[in-house]
Amino acid sequence: MRTKKAAKLLVGPGCLVSIVALLLAAILYPRAKWLFACVLIGIALVILNALFSKDPTPRALAEDIERLLTGNYGGWDVDDFEHQRIRDPQLRELWRRSLDIGGLPEEWVRLNEERRSQLQEIMRQLRAMGEARELEEDNQGVHNAGP
């Protein structure tokens, strides 16, 4: 889990720096037309990354909420949580509710008991959703592997 976050941390800004550097080089050296192709490739990679990135699992989202609620987070955890692009409507709704209830995630450690229990209910719902999806996947695997 930490290696994925480290890779994500390096890839995002790395792509941005690469694109900006190539764009700057293309502007400063207009005769080097091949630099424009590199800029286009960089932009295409960023777009493809956004299109094909996976949603977090319900269980992973619940763990993120729990980590933020207990204060056991570090690095870019708060920003990663706040700026997720979740396509699954159920998962996105629970993520939005968590932000509506708790406000800024970095302040969740100071929430009152009522709001804490509301976030814990969201975590329970996410974990139940994760278990149901895992069970559904297991059942599909059994049916597909039939005799």
Full-model pTM: 0.67
* 36 pLDDT higher than 80: no
Q: How confident is the model at residue 97 (pLDDT cuts 50, 70, 90)?
A: very high
Between these two residues, 91 and 32, which has the higher pLDDT value? 91
Q: Mind listing the pLDDT tens digit for each residue in 45-85?
A: 878 877 888 889 999 999 999 999 998 888 888 888 998 88
Distances, alpha carbon 128 to alpha carbons 45, 60, 71, 110, in Å: 35, 12, 23, 26
**Structural domain boundaries of the chain?**
2-52, 58-144
Half-sphere exposure of 53 (CA within 13 A, CB side): 15
Question: Where is average pLDDT lowest: 2-11, 14-23, 52-61?
Answer: 2-11
Q: For position 62, what pLDDT does the model report?
A: 95
Q: Return the closest-CA partner of residue 70 out of 110, 119, 99, 109.
A: 109
| Average pLDDT, rounded, for the chain | 82
